[in-house]
Amino acid sequence: MKQVATFKDFGFSSHLVQAINKKGFEEPTLIQSMTIPVMLKDDRNIIAQAQTGTGKTAAFGLPLIEMINTRSKNVQAIILVPTRELAVQVAEEINSLKWNNDLKIVPIYGGQSIDEQLRRLKKGVHIVVGTPGRVIDHLKRKTLRLENIEHLIMDEADEMLNMGFIEDMEEIMKYTNADKRTLLFSATIPAKIRQLARKYMEGYELIATKKERLITHLTEQIYFEVKVSDKFEALCRIIDIEEDFYGLVFCRTKSDVNTVAGHLIDRGYDAEAIHGDISQAQREKTLAKFKKHKINILVATDVAARGIDVSNLTHVLNYALPQDPESYVHRIGRTGRAGNEGTAITFITPSEYKRLMFIQRAAGTDIKKSIVPGVKDIIEVKKKKITEDLTNLLRDDIDASYYAWSKQLLADNKPMDILAGLLKYSFDEDVNPQAYGDINEVLSKGEQLDQQGKVRLFVALGKKDKFNATKLVDLVTSRVRIKSKRIKDIQILDKFSFITVPFEDAEKIIASFKKRGRKPLITHARQTKKK
């Protein structure tokens, strides 16, 4: 199917097109191009295979905005979602696109005051976004009536299936009219979803975005093999070596989420936790802080993270290996969006290697092994950032009182001593190697043999220097006469990179990039080991 070039091509009203432009949407995504025209015809049911991050909320939200009759006070569409967070997100997304303030959209979910929901429903609502359990509560109370709705939409249907909502979904369908249109959105279409469709969605059209990658090429995927006891230390190093880390850290249990988030906060990181036992008010407050970058690390369980749709995450980190390939795809699909590059990192223990390889095969992706950043490399990155900040500060206007103070200090001390003392006073905690613990590199016997004769090198060039893998290989091969295929496991980060080369090539490469009086461009990658 040919992709629609602009939102205006759908035949939307000028008011809605203006609202879309104001939102910043430039052109429809593939799932929007395929779904919106079918939905606007309003003559068939739809199953659409699409995942988080593909623009599916707008795919059904925009046609609803166009088709709803705001003169009526009856519920005309219900959107079922698996979690509270997704209910809030979907309602907010549709609200942000509507141009007619008479259009009323209400999220209803457990954990929120039912009295407040009753008041809003009584006033008249056009679109309800709800979780299955709370929707059934209202249906049984007869405070929500669905016998005259025009659209029933099930979002993240496979996740609702995984969470045990299949019976609730069927129960809700019994309260609806036969002539409605049903739309089912799901990242995967398992057998039970097809059975549900055959039973309740006669004559449906299947729309599958097969041409879209489940995992974007903008997401770099790597894994670190570490002991369980070293995971937290490795996490801190990964956060510290990135200039602007902004990411999700996934743990398997609520207890692990609390532990990891607590340790991060104790170390001074801007982190918070989100899981099922946290009150709804606190969850919403935490999500708002994360979206506004008031915190840059959110530690979460899979279920609690559903509905978090942030397009500019730099990292998704699997502190615990996901249970299955679908969970892995869902997790890392949150980075590498909207043209932004991202990194997905997975921690595994030696016993989990086979399961990771199974996930890699099932997801049809490539997850490369890397080593945890060394302490010296992290300190060098921090020093470089501090130097840049100080240089930029010197370009600003500095109050005269500081110059008077500086003159007073220089009267009795050497300039070099004063500067060194100020750096120590201001940045000692930031660049102190003792702030980091040791990490033992974990290698199986087979991997130890595989690693013999290979060397990991640190390159002081990265994405900010306009470097990619091809340019880095070209740079090395232009200086040293080696074949490009001998350069393996290339990892391009923001300000630096890593490569692996045969031992006999490593020293030649290092020697060729040495410059007298300057720091070498390529050196050995260092890893702190316990003695």
What CATH number should be reported for the domain holding residue 465? 3.30.70.330
Tell me the two tokens of residue 41.
């015809």
What is the C-alpha to C-alpha distance for residues 251 and 393, in angstroms, rounded to an integer?
A: 39
CA distance 421 to 419: 5
Residues 382 and 478 in one domain: no
Same domain assignment for residues 352 and 468: no
**Residue 214 resides in a domain:** no
The answer on 382 and 358 residing in a single domain is no
pLDDT digits over 168-208, tens only? Answer: 999 999 999 999 999 999 877 888 888 888 888 888 999 98
Same domain, 412 and 466: no
pLDDT digits (tens, 9 = 90+) for 59-85: 999 999 999 999 998 999 999 998 887
Tens-digit pLDDT profile for residues 448-490: 434 446 778 889 898 888 888 889 999 999 989 888 888 988 8
> Do residue 165 and residue 225 come from a single domain?
no
- Whether 115 maps to a domain, the answer reads yes
| Same domain, yes or no: 344 and 319 | yes
Q: Considering the domain boundaries, does residue 229 fall inside one? A: yes
In a domain, 111, yes or no: yes
**145, part of any domain:** yes
Q: Quick one: 404 and 272 in the same domain?
A: no
Q: What are the φ/ψ torsions at residue 369 (nearest 5 degrees)?
A: -80, 145
| Residue matched to tokens 């006891």 | 229
Question: Count of domains in the chain?
Answer: 4
Q: Is the pLDDT of residue 337 over 90?
A: no
Tens of pLDDT, residue by residue over 278-291, are: 887 888 899 889 99
Q: Is the pLDDT of residue 123 over 80?
A: yes
For residue 166, the enclosing domain spans 7-208
Q: Do 98 and 178 belong to one domain?
A: yes
In this structure, the answer to whether residues 458 and 382 fall within a common structural domain is no
Within-domain flag for 2: no
Same domain, 495 and 463: yes
In whole angstroms, what is the distance from residue 216 CA to residue 262 CA? 32
pLDDT at 328: 83
Has residue 529 been placed in a domain? no
| Range scoring the smallest mean pLDDT among 16-25, 137-146, 476-485 | 16-25
**pLDDT(405) > 50:** yes
Question: Do 87 and 175 belong together in one domain?
Answer: yes
Question: What is the CATH classification number for the domain harbouring 363?
Answer: 3.40.50.300
Residue type, 51: Q
Which of residues 208, 242, 272 is at a domain's end? 208
With tokens 């020293």, the residue in question is: 507
Let me know how long the chain is: 531
In a domain, 441, yes or no: no
Does residue 361 have a pLDDT over 90?
Answer: no
Last residue of a domain, one of 325, 349, 372: 372
pLDDT, tens only, 419-453: 988 888 888 877 777 767 777 656 444 444 344 46
What order do you get walking across the sheet with 105-108 strand by strand? 105-108, 127-130, 77-80, 151-154, 181-186, 46-49, 205-208
- For strands 247-250 and 315-318, give the pairing: parallel
Mean pLDDT, rounded, of the chain: 85
**pLDDT at 307 > cutoff 80:** no
Instruction: Looking at the structure, tell me whether residues 22 and 142 fall in a common domain.
Output: yes
Final residue belonging to a domain, choices 174, 208, 242: 208
Residue with tokens 């640190």: 458
